[in-house]
Amino acid sequence: MSSALVWQIVKGNHAFVRKGLNGVVFSAEAGNVYNKNSYKCSGLANTNHVDISVDAKADAVKFGLGSRKNAQKPKKNTARFTVKQNARRALQSVGKQVASFRPDLKKGAVARMAAIQKSLRVKKATKA
């Protein structure tokens, strides 16, 4: 099926829709960097998607790129990498990879990567 047809089927009603007040609609599926319920950002409809999430076991960030290969097998169609570099290098590498893959999602991917890395940072204890 084409991605446009998939989007027309799932756009208003899927398991990841989060409807807020005043008509604001968000989406929480994997591969949606902006968390917007739109065709451009959707990880369900687009085969070329970018996924950034937390790897709880390794205290690291998981970065994934979806491709057209194995489009019917969602688990296999995303190539996932664990990013263990320092924050600046990780942001640069993710920015470069996303810019060559989906330039329209670069800003959101870098922002999400920075937010996740900031949440994983442990503050040092200060002496009293």
Report pLDDT for 127.
Answer: 83
What does the pLDDT average to over 20-40?
90
Give the CB-side neighbour count of residue 104, counting CA atoms within 13 A. Answer: 7
Calpha distance 122→43 (Å, rounded): 31
Task: Supply the pTM of this predicted model.
Answer: 0.79
Calpha distance 11→17 (Å, rounded): 9
Q: Where are the domains of the chain?
A: 1-46, 48-121
**Residues 1-46, CATH architecture:** 2-Layer Sandwich (3.30)
CATH number of 48-121: 3.30.390.110
Report pLDDT for 17.
Answer: 92
Return the percentage of the chain with pLDDT > 70, whole number.
96
What does the pLDDT average to over 96-113?
91
Mean pLDDT, rounded, of the chain = 86
Report pLDDT for 122.
Answer: 82
pLDDT higher than 90, residue 107? yes
> What are 41-86's pLDDT values in tens digits?
888 888 888 888 888 777 788 888 887 777 677 677 777 888 877 8
Say whether 48-121 and 1-46 share the same fold: yes
Calpha distance 65→20 (Å, rounded): 29
Q: Collapsing DSSP states into helix, strand and coil, what is residue 59? A: coil
Name the least confident of 4-8, 11-15, 70-74, 106-110. Answer: 70-74
> What are the structure tokens assigned to 7, written together?
């989007």
